[in-house]
Copies of this chain bind each other. A is one copy, B any other.
Amino acid sequence: MRISELSRRAGVPVGTIKYYLREGLVPPGELTSATQARYGEPHVRRLELIRVLIGVGGLSIASTKAVLAAIDDPPASGHDLLGTAHSVIGPTPAASDTALDRARKLVTAWGWTGVDDAPALTQLAAALDGIEAAGLNLDDDVLARYATSMAQVAELDVAGVPIGSPADAVRFVVAGTVLFEPMLLAMRKLAQWDASARRFGHPA
């Protein structure tokens, strides 16, 4: 198909497709003349994925490029997929040594192993710093209950990873990690709404 049909099929403007082609996010089409190229179904699917990663997942062009590179050239082991997914997703803010120590002790208490060097440990510590700085203290008991719920979420995430093809697996892990976040946060807000109405009464 020509770029105009590709644009229509994928729901991405022609100018944006040309930009993605220049940035290397989308592989070039097959040249049919000096000025025209032909595109196929893989181009449609690639553009749909980019649209979702940027539009729903909120990824930058640079992070999207890293995600697509991981999908095109998947790491060898299933477990390494996750490191790739986490490393391309989101910045790791700075955390205090106190919060890092606390985060390390907490995950040990929760029985989560092998996470000493995970970027998410620093993300957890930075979040705890922020919560404390806002004057909202969470004791270890409450944190453990949040951790139990998020461990259930993670079990579902990992159980869903397809094991047939490495490319499918990395697509699931990377896209799933990014795209499930807004879903989970929306579910949390809806459930808060329900729980709040039960505690404080329904609005008039």
Are A133 and B203 neighbours in the complex by a CB distance under 8 Å? Answer: no
Is residue A19 contacting chain B, with contact meaning CB distance below 8 A? no
Enumerate A118-160 residues with CB–CB distance to B below 8 Å: 118, 120-121, 123-124, 126-131, 133-136, 138, 142, 145-160
Q: Does A5 contact B (CB under 8 A)?
A: no
Residues of B with C-beta under 8 A to A124: 183, 186-187, 190
Report whether B142 and A201 are in contact in the complex, using a CB–CB cutoff of 8 Å. Answer: no
Least CB distance from A195 to B in Å reads 4
Q: Is the interface of A mostly helix, strand, loop or mixed?
A: helix
Complex interface: stretch among A20-28, A32-40, A106-114: A106-114
Q: Give, as a whole number of angstroms, the nearest-CB distance from A102 to chain B.
A: 12
A131 CA to B183 CA, complexed, in Å: 9
CA distance A78 to B181 in the complex (A): 27
CA–CA, A175 and B156, complex, Å:
28
**A48 CA to B131 CA in the complex, in Å?**
11
B187 touches A147 (CB 8 A): yes
- B158/A114 in contact, CB under 8 A: no
Are A114 and B154 in touch, CB under 8 angstroms? no
* Smallest beta-carbon distance A204→chain B, Å: 8
* CA gap between A182 and B181 in the complex, in Å: 10
Q: Is the CB of A193 within 8 A of B112?
A: yes
Assess the A158–B127 pair: CB atoms within 8 A: no
What 7 A-B pairs have minimum CB-CB distances, sorted nearest first? A56-B130, A78-B200, A154-B191, A120-B189, A127-B183, A124-B186, A150-B187
